Amino acid sequence: MEASAKQFVSDVLYTSESRDGGENHLPSWNVDDNMLTQGKNVKVFLKQISIPHAVPAVNSNFNKIYISEDGGGTLTATLTVNNYNGSQFATEIQTQLNAAGALTYTVTYNSQTFKLSFTVVGGDVKFVTGANTLYFMMGFLESGTGFSDFDSLTSPHVIDIAGTRTIRIASNLKTLNVLHGREINLLATIPSLGSFGSIINYEPEHATPVDISRIGGHYVFEVLLFDDRHNLYVVPPNLNWSITLEYVYNL
């Protein structure tokens, strides 16, 4: 029979800090080894989270365009981290392509088809694959593969500049789910609703427990946040957010 839920709260309200490697997680929790060695069935639950919708659509995970002009080396266009409407998005892409390359680029947004069109003067260009690209936002395949040289091109799909749609709350411990190259426990998936800058308050009706009783020895329990594309969701510095966890175990 399980004991009454004991609340674990580590700085319920605190100011997040930028961390090395882009990771943004709660303070770690050194789990009591005796809970495991004495055969206690330890489970952790998400009770509540309050977090700002503060990561813009174009962010450090998705802000790069790589190009090769007339078969030359790879050049990098980096978009400014921000939210954009369709016309603004096209203008920013055009600005950064012209800043990165020697050719002349014109990028337009069609409000009827929701697609981008590219025109190049002075030669041919090819999009190149690489890290942190936003090709899927521009209406191309997410991987950025299959590109050919062009001087005129329209994206095959509509643009996607909505930004993060969900936030995944997970632990660092070995589990059933694999995100971002790590085995982690998924505590909850919450919708990223509301306008940019709003506060998301979420309390699950039926919390999914993380069973940590199968892992022996001394270890650290951490909570990590991911966006819907499995990248770490990093709350900008100096913004407050809070979380409450509970754990229960057998007597």
Q: Looking at residue 81, what is its pLDDT?
A: 94
For the chain, domains (ranges, CATH) are 6-55+164-248 (2.60.120), 64-154 (no CATH)
Tally of CB atoms within 10 A around 156? 10
Record the pTM: 0.76
Q: Please say whether the beta carbons of 2 and 249 come within 8 A.
A: yes
Cα 9-41-181 angle, rounded to 5 deg: 70
User: Which tokens in the block code for residue 111?
Assistant: 């409000």
Instruction: From first to last of the 251 residues of the chain, give the pLDDT tens digit.
Output: 343 444 433 333 223 343 333 445 554 555 555 555 455 666 777 888 888 888 899 998 899 999 999 999 999 999 999 999 999 999 999 999 999 999 999 999 999 999 999 999 999 999 999 999 999 999 998 665 668 999 999 999 999 998 888 888 887 765 544 444 555 577 888 876 677 888 888 888 877 777 766 555 556 667 788 888 888 887 777 777 777 777 776 65
